[in-house]
Chains A and B, each alone.
Chain A
Amino acid sequence: MQWETVIGLEIHAQLATKSKIFSGAATLYGAEPNTQACAIDLGLPGVLPVLNQEAVKMAVKFGLAIGATVSPRSVFARKNYFYPDLPKGYQISQFDLPVVSTGETTIVVDGEVKVIGITRAHLEEDAGKSLHEDFEGHTGIDLNRAGTPLLEIVSEPDMRSAKEAVAYMKKVHALVRYLEICDGNMQEGSFRCDANVSIRPKGQEKFGTRAEIKNLNSFRFVEKAINYEVLRQIEILENGGTIVQETRLYDANKDETRSMRSKEEANDYRYFPDPDLLPLEIAADFIESIRTQLPELPDQKKLRFKAQYGLTDYDAEVLTATRELASYFEQVALLSGSDPKLCANWVMGDLAAALNKASLEIEESPVDPQRLAGLIQRIADDTISGKIAKQVFEGLWASLESADAIIYREGLRQITDTGAIEAIIDAIIAENPAQVEGYRSGKDKLFGFFVGQAMKATEGKANPAQLNELLKKKLS
């Protein structure tokens, strides 16, 4: 049977506010345990939450960026459950009236553009952390993270493969970083997701029973976990079994998902409106003032790159994937004043490969836009050939020198002096009378021999076009 995969993602993006969503405590990552938790975060008796306006602004930004409805009135609700790292015994979240609803975004997979619906995005507070490793026989509780603002972004079940799910997650990742509402740091858990995965016979409208895979914190894990889960479900159904609705965990070491709890064991969260917080009312002019502050978003930037730089769809897509990459490319193009396509090729080619090999992000690149632009200028003005440029790039990567300094020191400047090239050619002709004779009698293939000899003599620095032209003239 042909199976179709159906995936929906719930992405948790930690909002980049300075203080927590309902208290004044700092949100910085990595502080000593329990040093960034105030009376409110600890859930002491008598404390009350006060909403952080920055968090609301960020949620509105996101809503506007995905063309969603920003609700003029939304409600905070309590999600009640007991857990040691949940200090109040409930999480303040939004339930039936979220701040953002009905938006969408597009992804490109295998050259196809696809629209993914975003059901809702709501504000909530994060819980603390339970530390099971460091305390023998005990569990430590770190409440630094408790009360950190999260935007939970819930998609429609619109994705049909792990690849699409990853593309969507990357798209939302790019969006929140463009908007500067989340640092996107997946290792620190600032951006993570739960994946709802089900399968159904191709052509069937009704959804299959889904499993929810919790807490995936890398693009690679999302892809691997979904692929594993799909195969698991296919195997069950093809062997006549049924899928149980449950929450599962992905084990990256074993590359498998395993059951955490079934629907029957699920908590009854007893949601009800939080009486400590009034309904959140957002005025139309507040929304409009935020709209005017929105930065250029990936889709807009992509269109502009195509128009302004004459880039292909593919190049524009790749270069706008992150705000940092786009900015890097634009600086190179501006500083070099050279052909944007040449700049794009270098950013997406040699530079990207070197960064990838060194596991560095573009903003960590040892070669800054200024120095790469210097290299590209020398290619454009024929000072060096493309082949020599690769050698210079290695120099740029390994040092803080400029391209010009490397070219000068290493004597890599291309030979464009006609007289000098002619003298070399004359010498080769004089030394190889047999080959000259052969070529002149019609053995065209021998032309390559002369090019090779000339390049050898100039250590590859002869301008190739010029060399060809002069050789042809002298040999004729």
Chain B
Amino acid sequence: MHDKTIRELSDGLKSKAFSSLELTESFLKRIERLDPSINAFITVTPERALKAAKAADVALEKGAAGPLTGIPIAQKDIFCTEGVRSSCGSKMLDQFISPYNATVVDRLNAAGTVMLGKLNMDEFAMGSSNETSFYGPVKNPWNLETVPGGSSGGSAAAVAARLVPGATGTDTGGSIRQPAAFCGITGIKPTYGLVSRWGMIAFASSLDQAGPMAKTAEDCALLLEAMAGFDPKDSTSLERPKETYSQGLDESIEGLRIGLPQEFFGEGLDPDIHQAIQAAIGEIEKLGATVKAISLPHMHLSGPAYYVVAPAECSSNLARLDGVRYGYRAENPKDLKDLYMRSRGEGFGAEVKRRILIGTYALSAGYYDAYYIKAQKIRRLISDDFKKAFEEVDVIMGPTSPSVAFQFGEKSQDPIAMYLSDIYTIAVNLAGLPGMSVPVGFSKGLPIGMQIIGNYFSEQRLLHVAHRYQGVTDWHQQSPTL
């Protein structure tokens, strides 16, 4: 049952092969049994889940069910969930019970999904290995000695370990795609503005975007249908007609033009990954696509630009965590300054502090033009590179990450090496484009992910290509032995 896709579970629920309550209980048992070794969940919410499952069964009984009614999912702990701890992976919010729901949570609830709990993540989504979480690192189900990727590592590991059929993630610089690649699952980061950010605890507001993570492209399509759409509570949300991403996935991709940027296949790329990507593209060519070499000449500037913009925004976004109104507060502060310094000093972990410092510096008088303004200019150049590329091709393909999952501790002492693991994903966030990762093979027993990037609002196309590819391959069906 745990290996079934959301589509298959949905059919099973409708045909009464099993009830949502049975499904929910079964996944909760599996979490209880396996999660202690994986640590994908920060909070499990069985009572709520069982209640929601019963309600879903009533809806199913009445015939008032949608494709997600009764499907167990889990939320990344970056989303505020009413009445449930919403920690964002930080000691700072360890005691924070949100009084309201994120729009993503509301929408998935309204679609009838059953939330099993809240998923582990890098602290405030800052990290690429899940090692910065206050709740301890998540283990990669394929090899418990390796990282699951980050920051949505709990989401990726939970889906890979079959603890839940689908989960939410967020992606600021690769935080859905890189862990999806490391854990051998499918994940999509939509176009900036497609999914509401209301109630999603901000890391870097101009880059953050929520998306689904699941076993297959079709499951991602089903989840995205529920998550996407205009939200008047988010000024950066775009008002446009709703799309049904799960429709037309089986149609031909004959004539699809794929661009392969030379910058994605240069130095630093693991040869096994290179080979797996080439093989995957070969499969897609067999489905009728054509391939073209392209160039994204400013790609090498995406890292430097990202590590100015993201820290700058986070330094401001995290200022509200001051120990005054909610969250962690240092004991017996002797004055206001002491309250601020110790609450923040004790409440934040090292990586978060590092980024706050970098961002504060980048925005300081005298440095703002040299860093922040310049980074914004680079953003424009990178967007223009993609714009030009999409005049010639429909999608861009390449590796999601230069390596497969690495060992715990391997990069955590070297921030620069850690930052490089997002080298292929960051540019997509800077440009606000949609990007996804699909499993395309293994290296030394660890999954390899391929990234597919599309033009603005081309989620349907990305999911379509990925679905067709998954129709002729079985990498996405592989699961780790636990």
Spell out A's residues near B (CB within 8 Å). 39, 42-51, 78, 80, 82, 84, 87-90, 141, 268, 270-272, 275-278
Contacts and interface: CB of A to CB of B under 8 A. Distances in A.
Contacts of B360: 270
Contact of B233 (A50, A78, A88): A50
Contact of B316 (A46, A47, A78): A78
Contacts of B325: 42-43, 87, 141
Interface in B363-377: 363-365, 368, 372
A88 B96 CA distance: 16
B320 A89 contact: yes
A89 B340 CA distance: 11
Given A46-B80, A51-B235, A270 B316 contact: yes
A39 B325 CA distance: 11
A39 B324 CA distance: 15
A268 B318 CA distance: 17
Given A80-B363, A276-B205, A48 B197 contact: yes
A48 B99 CA distance: 15
12 contacts: A45-B202, A46-B198, A49-B235, A84-B324, A88-B319, A268-B364, A270-B368, A272-B363, A275-B204, A275-B236, A276-B205, A278-B235
Contacts of B17: none
A45 B96 contact: yes
Interface of A is mostly: loop
B236 A278 contact: yes
B86 A45 contact: yes
Given A46-B200, A47-B198, A82-B340, A270 B235 contact: no
Given A45-B86, A46-B200, A276 B236 contact: yes
B88 interface: yes
Interface in B49-96: 79-80, 86, 88, 93, 96
The CB with the most chain A CB atoms within 10 A, among B200, B235, B318, is that of B235
A48 B363 contact: no
Contacts of B363: 80, 270-272
Nearest to A267: B365
A46 B320 contact: no
Contacts of A87: 320, 324-325
Nearest to B99: A39
Interface string B14-29: 0000000000000000
A383 B392 CA distance: 95
B338 interface: no
B479 interface: no
B280 interface: no
B336 A80 contact: no
B234 interface: yes
Contacts of A90: 316, 319
Given A268-B365, A278-B236, A48 B198 contact: yes
Contacts of A49: 235
A276 B202 CA distance: 10
Contacts of A270: 315-316, 360, 363-365, 368
Contacts of B233: 48, 50
Contacts of B199: 46-47
B235 A48 contact: yes
The CB with the most chain A CB atoms within 10 A, among B93, B99, B199, B312, is that of B199
Interface string B318-357: 1111101110000000001000100000000000000000
B232 interface: yes
B326 A44 contact: yes
B422 interface: no
A48 B233 CA distance: 7
Nearest to A270: B363
Contact of B368 (A39, A272, A277, A278): A272
Nearest to B360: A270
Contact of B322 (A39, A89, A272, A277): A89
Nearest to A23: B233
Interface in B165-217: 197-202, 204-206
A278 B432 CA distance: 14
User: What are the nearest 9 A-B pairs in CB distance?
Assistant: A89-B319, A270-B363, A275-B206, A275-B205, A46-B199, A43-B320, A45-B201, A46-B80, A88-B320
Interface residues of B, number: 44
B318 to A, nearest CB: 8
Contacts of A47: 198-199
A44 B235 contact: no
A78 B359 CA distance: 14
Contacts of A271: 363, 368
B313 A275 contact: yes
Contacts of B321: 45
Nearest to B373: A272
B319 A82 contact: yes
A39 B336 CA distance: 23
B98 interface: yes
B291 interface: no
Contact of B93 (A45, A268, A275): A45
B34 interface: no
Contacts of A78: 316
B235 A272 contact: no
Nearest to B90: A45
A78 B320 CA distance: 13
A305 B232 CA distance: 47
Contact of B98 (A45, A88, A277, A278): A45
Contacts of B320: 43, 45, 87-89
A49 B205 CA distance: 12
A451 B68 CA distance: 104
B301 interface: no
Contacts of B312: 272
Nearest to B231: A48
B102 interface: yes
A91 to B, nearest CB: 11
A46 B368 contact: no
Contacts of B86: 45-46
Contacts of B313: 275
Given A88-B320, A268-B365, A46 B102 contact: yes
The CB with the most chain B CB atoms within 10 A, among A42, A80, A89, A271, is that of A89
A141 B318 CA distance: 20
Contacts of B205: 275-276
B235 A84 contact: no
The CB with the most chain B CB atoms within 10 A, among A47, A88, A89, A275, is that of A275
A19 to B, nearest CB: 14
Given A80-B316, A90-B316, A48 B98 contact: no
Interface string B93-131: 100101110100000000000000000000000000000
Contacts of B368: 270-272
Contacts of B364: 268, 270
Contacts of A272: 312, 316, 363, 368, 372
Given A43-B320, A44-B100, A272-B368, 9 more contacts: A44-B80, A45-B88, A46-B79, A46-B102, A50-B233, A80-B315, A82-B319, A88-B319, A270-B316
A36 to B, nearest CB: 15
Contact of A89 (B88, B316, B336, B372): B316
B365 A46 contact: no
A420 B278 CA distance: 124
B87 to A, nearest CB: 10
A90 B235 CA distance: 18
Contacts of B318: 89
B137 to A, nearest CB: 23
Contacts of A51: 235
The CB with the most chain A CB atoms within 10 A, among B197, B312, B324, B372, is that of B324
A277 B316 contact: no
Contacts of B100: 39, 44
Contacts of A278: 235-236
Contact of A48 (B88, B234, B365): B234
Contacts of A45: 80, 86, 88, 93, 96, 98, 201-202, 320-321
